[in-house]
Amino acid sequence: MRKVSIFGATGSIGQNTIDLIARDPDAYDVVALTGGANIEQLARDARRLKADVAVTAYDTRLDDLRTALAGSGIAAASGQAALTEAAARPADWVMSAIVGAAGLAPGLAALKQGATLALANKETLVCAGPLVLETARAHGARLLPVDSEHSAVFQALVGEDPRAVERIIITASGGAFRDWPVSELANATVEQASSHPNWDMGQRITIDSASMFNKALELIETKEFFGIDPSRIEVLVHPESIVHALVGYCDGAVMAHLGAPDMRHAIGYALHWPDRRALPVNRLDLSQLGQLRFADPDPERYPALRLARAVMERGGLSGAIFNAAKERALDHFIARRIRFLDMADMVASVLDRFETDGSHIDAPLSLDNVQQTDHLARQWVDEAVVQRAG
């Protein structure tokens, strides 16, 4: 039996992972499941999958979790330290599907115990790519991509010489506002930004798709994961979300990865890698689809892409700053304190402030430094929001 843990088990990726694992219960020995405020679901899945431990991110919910698990023999724990401890419990395969920078510390702990880390949490590589890769190398652990584009690239690279790769192209649906006049984006509401044309995902990543902050994170993730020069990474708007990524080779050939938009494909590929196993996803019918469209992203509509390019050039802690400022600006947008386009403005101004206001960006890339910088970036976003209101 393979020992597996799922971080962010109650979320969209976590539930899809559980769906796959629960289809073959005899194959898996579930070690840890973690979640946030949805205690009922966490406890239900922990009981169903017979986990050793369930962890909620929130200390205030520990009593509820204990009550929900009473009599099951499953240990209950809470808080960030408990998440990291759970990740250090020996496991063969760990799904990293917490949303946001909070996924970094558990991910590092899982790598340190030598687990294969299935990485849905793109923030891990955005905030600390070189540190994460070095940790994996030092402990003989493996990272596998779960983000659909990166899984697609990974699959299009199988059997090829990495030196023959000329470019990587990741696709983007264009999000909820792809066809809106740019002049109306300023008035976009949280509800409008929270609906995705093709993918059913958590709210935060769905809004990030509308702003293309998600694709911006994925550009950085591509650079870190595949070690490719940023000038060789392209983004292509593809409204149907059928082609997930393409790899262009030095002889002009382009290998594309196609599939129905269902995250269980990428999760399942990472779960069974290096094998391919049957997965319960819809099969493609291209004649039914009729056509696939592609276009370059409009830089005016999606300023996040330009910011990501600057971050990739800058390196150091700029990815951690970028992500933290983005997360905090998103909190304020969801709380209706700022407007849709303010998010990119605030991220840009926080990055500028770090450039002029100290040497943080070039501090060594350690977990402590990432967390301190993350904290400061969020504080500066809060200050900018207060200033704007005042």
- Per the DSSP assignment, residues forming a β-bridge with 33 are 6, 54
With contacts defined by CB under 6 A, how many residues of the chain interact with ligand NAD? 28
CB 308 within 8 A of CB 220: yes
**Residue 102 binds ligand NAD (CB under 6 A):** yes
* Sole binder of Mg ion in the list 147, 208, 221, 374 (CB under 5 A): 147
**Residue 123 binds Mg ion (CB under 5 A):** no
Strand ordering across the sheet containing 233-237: 233-237, 165-172, 243-249, 254-258
CB 37 within 8 A of CB 63: no
CB 58 within 8 A of CB 36: yes
Largest pairwise CA distance in the chain:
62
Q: Return the structure tokens found at 46.
A: 């922990």
Pick the piece of the chain touching ligand NAD (CB under 6 A) from 64-72, 95-103, 359-367, 373-381: 95-103
For ligand NAD, which is the closer residue by CB, 180 or 199?
Answer: 199
Q: Return the structure tokens found at 15.
A: 């539930």
Pick the piece of the chain touching Mg ion (CB under 5 A) from 109-117, 145-153, 293-301, 370-378: 145-153
CB of 269 to ligand NAD, least distance (A): 13
Q: How many DSSP H helices and E strands does the chain contain?
A: 16, 11
For Mg ion, which is the closer residue by CB, 247 or 381?
Answer: 247
**Residue 259 binds ligand NAD (CB under 6 A):** no
Exposed e or buried b per residue across 304-313, where buried means at least 16 C-beta atoms within 10 angstroms of its C-beta: bbebbbebbe
C-alpha span between 135 and 220 (Å, rounded): 18
C-alpha span between 3 and 294 (Å, rounded): 41
C-alpha span between 322 and 123 (Å, rounded): 10
* Sole binder of ligand NAD in the list 82, 97, 207, 370 (CB under 6 A): 97
x/- string (CB under 6 A) for ligand NAD, residues 64-83?
A: -------------------x
Q: Which of Mg ion, ligand NAD, none has residue 199 at its interface (CB below 5 to 8 Å by kind)?
A: ligand NAD
C-alpha span between 366 and 387 (Å, rounded): 31
- Give the nearest residue (CB) to Mg ion: 147
Q: Return the structure tokens found at 383.
A: 């200050």
For ligand NAD, which is the closer residue by CB, 83 or 220?
Answer: 83
**Residue 21 binds ligand NAD (CB under 6 A):** no
CB of 197 to ligand NAD, least distance (A): 13
Q: Which of ligand NAD, Mg ion, none has residue 212 at its interface (CB below 5 to 8 Å by kind)?
A: none
Q: Which of ligand NAD, Mg ion, none has residue 14 at its interface (CB below 5 to 8 Å by kind)?
A: ligand NAD
**Residue 99 binds ligand NAD (CB under 6 A):** yes
Pick the piece of the chain touching ligand NAD (CB under 6 A) from 12-20, 164-172, 220-228, 240-248: 12-20
Which residues ranging from 116 to 155 are in contact with ligand NAD (CB under 6 A)? 120-123, 147-148
C-alpha span between 10 and 6 (Å, rounded): 9
CB of 160 to Mg ion, least distance (A): 22
| CB atoms closer than 10 angstroms to residue 26 | 6
The three-class DSSP label of residue 250 is coil
Q: Note the residues at the interface with ligand NAD (CB under 6 A).
A: 8-14, 35-36, 57, 83, 97-100, 102, 120-123, 147-148, 199, 201-202, 204-205, 263
Q: Note the residues at the interface with Mg ion (CB under 5 A).
A: 147-149
